[in-house]
Amino acid sequence: MSTLRIGEVSVTHRHVADVARGRLAVALTESGRWRERMRRTRKAVDDRAGGAEPFYGVNTGFGSSCVNPVSIELGVELAVNLVRFHGCGVGPRFGREESRAVMVARLAQLAAGGSGVRLETLEALVRLLAEDIVPCIPELGSVGASGDLTPMSYVAAVLAGDREVHFRGGICPARDALAAVGPRPFVPLLPMLGEIASDFEEVLSAHGGATALEFKYDGARIQVHSDGQRVGIWSRRLSDVTASLPDVAEIVRRDLGGAPFILDGEVVALDAAGRPLPFQELMRRFRRVHDVEALLGQVPLALHFFDCLVAEGQSLIDEPSERRWGALRRVTSGRYLAERSVVTTVAEADAFLARALAAGHEGVMAKDLRAAYEPGGRGKRWLKLKAAETVDCVIIAADRGSGRRVGWLSNYHLAVRDGDGWADVGKTFKGLTDQEFTAMTERLKSLAVGDDGYTVRVTPEIVVEVEYNEIQKSPTYPSGLALRFARIARIRDDKAPGQATTLAQLRDLYEAQFRTKGRAG
């Protein structure tokens, strides 16, 4: 069978028809010039996404939420939610050949070089065509002027392991089809995620009486691929960060065996004393693509692997967690592993959590010893527990919601007391139930003192207890501080605004973080 080399030739209607009918195979060109152009346009996207300027839909929300900044950590969740939102097609489904035509036509368009798409995405599309894993795309359901968003969302969803596909003569969940052909090095997979647990009793019950606890590092997720010579490193968002982490790539080449392999892990920035630095300092390494060597000494990294998806070319994602851990130990020879302990009692778990917090980490992950690895999945197979810190804030404004929150004032501007005034320290739309959103909207409307059509300014009367992951320096707020991953724990109707946390107290809490964390500079 002949092969259509995407990137070498102009794709015609005849090419699309032949690929759709299985008469023509597809591959990406090996042209160095084309690949460099694709990397260059992708780098332009990554550079802008990591900057301070708004970049619509990349580091901002969509539609009326385009004024809301989106953190790096939440970027992948935003993209996944966008794909889910547009999965609203109706009517009969296109046949297998028609859907293959959709795939190859979009592949050719993305490969033209101006889209900023990752090479890995194109390689994943080629693999779907080669394995004949074809999205089930409804014939109807365009969304306004952007009519291709609905059909394209079905293609994107399959890349993430969602929705249904034509596969081996039938229709099945995409996740099952992808599992049947197995993971492949240098085609990154969405990371498996965990839910929040309230206590260790819940964990042990969910995991059948025994669970593997690991330190939950305040670092950045990485997925490492190697064939024994080449090394590729991807972030949680599936961005290729290999060039930003040459020290990690060198460790992989020098110290790890069992290739080809795919490992899941975390990197943490360290200070001179070996203590973890705040997440902001780690991001300096991830965003740097030029003069990386200058930062190697300034921001050294610790590497902690915690899962093995492929070893010696064999897929392990369907194996239980305990067997994957054994394979990981063999690949790493027991080095560069996350701190881990299998526990069967709450007392053992509490002691392990105390160790993690004393070492300056966020908390612990609890993993079911029987669980398979589910790319992109989130559930009780992995649970996370953190010692949540809280402050009492006052709501001083709220943005109108979008999506499922339309009709509510649901993105709350949080502030602490600063003398006779208020100092902004963050925003959040997390923590309230639908019923609470409805009631809060009515309360805020009654307190409104200004409305620009999007943000409603209110009299600062409502106190909320806010959980947060970390207090960070902020160039955005005049207070100089911001709450990372803020979430409303409860509405404090028992407290008056004058009893809210003060800016001075928040500064003290910021400084107290460095009793266990390192400080840059």
The mean pLDDT value of the chain amounts to 87
Do the domain assignments include residue 120?
A: yes
% the chain with pLDDT above 90: 48
Quick check: 167 and 124 in contact, CB under 8 A? Answer: no
Alpha carbon distance 354, 362 (integer Å) = 11
Do both 450 and 428 map to the same domain?
Answer: yes
**9 DSSP β-pair partners:** 6
- The last residue of one of the domains, among 385, 415, 432, is 385
Alpha carbon distance 21, 95 (integer Å) = 11
- Rounded average pLDDT over 108-136: 89
Do both 238 and 290 map to the same domain?
Answer: yes
319: containing domain: 193-385
Q: What angle do CA 260, 266, 268 make, to 5 degrees?
A: 135
More confidently predicted of 8 and 501: 501
Residue closest to 282 by CA, chosen among 271, 269, 267: 269
Do both 380 and 401 map to the same domain?
Answer: no
Do the domain assignments include residue 227?
A: yes
pLDDT tens column, 370-425: 999 988 788 899 999 877 778 999 999 999 987 778 889 989 999 999 998 999 99
Q: Is 216 among the residues known to form the active site?
A: yes
- 115 pLDDT exceeds 90? no
- 65 pLDDT exceeds 80? no
Measure CA 152 to chain center: 21
Do both 347 and 451 map to the same domain?
Answer: no
Do both 114 and 210 map to the same domain?
Answer: no
Do both 137 and 207 map to the same domain?
Answer: no
- 260 pLDDT exceeds 90? yes
Quick check: 114 and 36 in contact, CB under 8 A? Answer: no
Do the domain assignments include residue 188?
A: no
Which region, left, alpha or beta, applies to residue 88 given φ > 0 means left and ψ of -120 to 50 means alpha? alpha
Do both 339 and 406 map to the same domain?
Answer: no
- Rounded average pLDDT over 19-32: 90
Do the domain assignments include residue 186?
A: no
* Helix intervals (H) in 419-484: 434-446
Give, for 448, the enclosing helix (H) or strand (E).
strand 448-451
- The last residue of one of the domains, among 355, 385, 415, is 385
Q: What is the pLDDT of residue 56?
A: 80
Do the domain assignments include residue 521?
A: no
- 144 pLDDT exceeds 60? no
pLDDT tens column, 418-453: 998 999 999 999 888 888 899 999 999 999 999 998
Q: What is the pLDDT of residue 513?
A: 83
Do both 93 and 165 map to the same domain?
Answer: yes
Q: What is the pLDDT of residue 292?
A: 61
Q: What is the pLDDT of residue 145?
A: 39
Band (pLDDT 50/70/90 cuts) for residue 51 is: low
Do the domain assignments include residue 187?
A: no
Q: What is the pLDDT of residue 294?
A: 61
Do both 173 and 218 map to the same domain?
Answer: no
Q: Copy the structure tokens of residue 384.
A: 């996370």
Asked if the bond preceding 260 is cis, omega within 30° of 0, the reply is yes
Structural domain total, the chain: 3
- Rounded average pLDDT over 98-127: 89
Instruction: Cite the beta strand spans of 324-408 per DSSP E.
Output: 340-343, 363-367, 378-386, 389-400
Listed range (190-204, 245-259, 327-341) with the worst mean pLDDT: 190-204
- Rounded average pLDDT over 158-174: 90
Q: Which of 104-113, 284-293, 304-313, 499-508 ranks highest by mean pLDDT? A: 304-313
Q: What is the pLDDT of residue 496?
A: 82
Alpha carbon distance 134, 195 (integer Å) = 30
* Helix intervals (H) in 317-457: 321-332, 346-358, 434-446
- The last residue of one of the domains, among 335, 354, 385, is 385
Q: Which of 184-188, 197-201, 279-283, 502-506 ranks highest by mean pLDDT? A: 502-506
SS3 assignment, position 173: strand
Alpha carbon distance 108, 36 (integer Å) = 17
Find the CATH number of the domain harbouring 312. Answer: 3.30.470.30
Alpha carbon distance 119, 121 (integer Å) = 5
Do the domain assignments include residue 403?
A: yes
Do the domain assignments include residue 132?
A: yes
Do both 165 and 220 map to the same domain?
Answer: no
Q: What is the pLDDT of residue 12?
A: 93
pLDDT tens column, 311-338: 999 999 999 999 999 999 999 999 999 9
Of 216, 367, 384, 427, catalytic: 216
- The DSSP line for 70-136 is --HHHHHHHHHHHHHHT---EEEEPPHHHHHHHHHHHHHHHTTS-S---HHHHHHHHHHHHHT-EE-
Do both 202 and 310 map to the same domain?
Answer: yes
The burial of 357, by beta-carbon neighbours within 10 Å (0-12 exposed, 13-18 middle, 19 or more buried), is given as: middle
The burial of 366, by beta-carbon neighbours within 10 Å (0-12 exposed, 13-18 middle, 19 or more buried), is given as: buried
* Helix intervals (H) in 213-314: 246-255, 279-287, 293-296
Do both 408 and 337 map to the same domain?
Answer: no
Q: What is the pLDDT of residue 142?
A: 56
Q: What is the pLDDT of residue 291?
A: 58
